[in-house]
Amino acid sequence: MMLNPNKVNYNRKLAKITRKNSVFIGILMFGMIILLVVFFAPAGVQLFNMNYSHDANAYDHRIVIAGDQAILRELKAEEPEIVEVPEEYINPVDRIMSDLNGVIRKYPHHNKGLADTLYNEVKILCWVNTWPSNHKTRAKAVKETWAKRCNKVLFISTKEDPELDTVALPLKDGRQYLWSKIRGAFTYVYKNYFDEYDWFVRADDDTYMIVENLRYMLYQYDPMSPIHLGCKFKPFVKQGYMSGGAGYVLSKEALRRFVEIGIPDPKYCKQEEDEMDDVEIGKCLEKLNVTAGDSRDWNGRGRMFPFIPEQHLVTVSPKDGDFWYWKYVFYPTDDGRNCCSDRTISFHYISPQFMYTMEFLIYELKPFGLKDDEDVLPKKYDEL
Ligand SMILES: *[C@@H]1O[C@H](CO)[C@@H](O)[C@H](O)[C@H]1NC(C)=O
Ligand SMILES: *[C@@H]1O[C@H](CO)[C@@H](O)[C@H](O)[C@H]1NC(C)=O
């Protein structure tokens, strides 16, 4: 077949023009993209900046906010240059801090007169009820926060863990064996530590305790009197029983009666498994003539609580509603601003994250220039 030479030529020309055009359009689009990147990329970065840019943490914040891998790479390229700060600009406090050898915060009033005195006078053993699956989370947080203020702490679990230094009881995991666990734990404590301590606390691995305030409450009592204290609930036991989650404390004499007389004898303590361990120990202690004490302060405000602070302080469950707590709680208390004593001892359902937060808010954060009232010890009950 013959081709029309003119037509071929024309086609070639057309192809050439089209190629020229696409090159031109390509260059144009490329230029526009460059312009877009140059003008708008800083604005985009600004979005993720969130005004942290004055802060050394800005870089981290942006990465967390951005998330997306592409943006992450872009931001990495933006890592701020590290500038050597001239000696004269270094805050003198930084210089002092660097001399403290790893101690980051140090407050003079934490060289605590009376808290130290009570540490030696009101000797508390705390045993923390935990499980293998919580060792690295909840129990770790307890160990690193409030538990170090007990004179002795034991983590009672069902598996050994050298990192946590657990006491492993030969029991199966599960709520249905809780009553066995509580009996086993107190028996272990009694056999190994009875002589050295005056008060014996049971706490969960999501209980947070302000141990100084626990000592302050216990200071008034004689550990040789048969008493236990906690967040007291009404049902099941005539004199009331103590919520397990809020933590409770047995006097030395209460522990002795529980382990020596109560646990081995079905006349006093239930011998079968039960998951209502706090109810069972309550029944048992009542039969052993161990008083269920009142842990409220001199204003009638509670000191030991079965929920997180927020729930008692702010998000009040209506009293006329069905919420079990109002039917259980022994003393007629209020939620809201007046819920909780200035000397509150415990809260429950505290996550590990919140445990570290509580620790910071209670022990480290200090509003500048405010001074506490002079701390004064109350009279002991046998001196009244
Ligand atoms: C950042 O700070 C500037 C002034 O310092 C302010 O006008 C702007 O609203 C702030 N942007 C954001 C996202 O907070
Ligand atoms: C408890 O008190 C009652 C009445 O005083 C007494 O009969 C009983 O023996 C006591 N039980 C124990 C274990 O102390």
Mean pLDDT on 98-113: 50
Find the length of the chain.
384
Has residue 102 got a pLDDT over 60? no
Q: Which atom of ligand 1 is nearest to the CA of 51?
A: 1
**pLDDT tens track for 253-288:** 999 999 999 999 999 999 988 889 999 999 999 999
Look at residues 59, 77, 95 and tell me which one is the last residue of a structural domain. 77
Has residue 105 got a pLDDT over 70? no
Does residue 177 share a domain with residue 61? no
Does residue 313 share a domain with residue 174? yes
Does residue 142 share a domain with residue 70? no
Between 106-120, 216-230, 257-271, 348-362, the lowest mean confidence (pLDDT) is in 106-120
Does residue 299 share a domain with residue 207? yes
**pLDDT tens track for 31-81:** 777 776 665 555 444 444 443 444 443 333 333 343 444 444 445 555 556
- CATH number at 317 reads 3.90.550
Q: Is 32 part of any domain?
A: yes
Q: Is 95 part of any domain?
A: no
pLDDT of residue 19: 64
Average pLDDT, the chain: 80
Does residue 274 share a domain with residue 182? yes
Q: For ligand 1, say whether the CB of 47 is within 6 Å of any of its atoms.
A: no
Q: Is 119 part of any domain?
A: no
pLDDT of residue 332: 79
Does residue 63 share a domain with residue 177? no
Other beta carbons within 10 angstroms of residue 32's beta carbon come to 10
Q: For ligand 1, say whether the CB of 43 is within 6 Å of any of its atoms.
A: no
Does residue 164 share a domain with residue 25? no
Q: Is 161 part of any domain?
A: yes
Q: How far is the CA of 127 from the centre of ligand 1 (A)?
A: 50
Q: Which atom of ligand 2 is nearest to the CA of 261?
A: 13
Mean pLDDT on 361-365: 91
Q: Is 138 part of any domain?
A: yes
Distances in Å between the alpha carbon of 375 and those of 107, 109, 117, 277, 313?
17, 12, 12, 37, 25
Does residue 340 share a domain with residue 207? yes
Structural domain boundaries, residue 24: 17-77
Does the reported pTM lie above 0.85? no
Q: Is 180 part of any domain?
A: yes
Per the structure, the count of domains in the chain is 2
Does residue 54 share a domain with residue 181? no
Does residue 202 share a domain with residue 296? yes
Q: Which amino acid is at 30?
A: F
Other beta carbons within 10 angstroms of residue 97's beta carbon come to 15
Has residue 341 got a pLDDT over 80? yes
Does residue 130 share a domain with residue 42? no
Give the ranges where the chain is alpha helix by DSSP (H): 5-49, 58-66, 69-77, 92-99, 113-121, 140-144, 178-193, 211-218, 252-256, 277-287, 309-313, 324-328, 352-359
Q: For ligand 2, say whether the CB of 288 is within 6 Å of any of its atoms.
A: yes
Cα–Cα distance between 134 and 139 in angstroms, integer?
6
Has residue 120 got a pLDDT over 70? yes
Question: Ligand nearest 65 Cα, by number?
Answer: 1
Distances in Å between the alpha carbon of 293 and those of 242, 284, 285?
9, 15, 12
Q: How far is the CA of 369 from the centre of ligand 2 (A)?
A: 55
Q: Is 201 part of any domain?
A: yes
Question: Ligand nearest 54 Cα, by number?
Answer: 1
Q: How far is the CA of 67 from the centre of ligand 2 (A)?
A: 67
Mean pLDDT on 177-201: 96
Q: Is 312 part of any domain?
A: yes
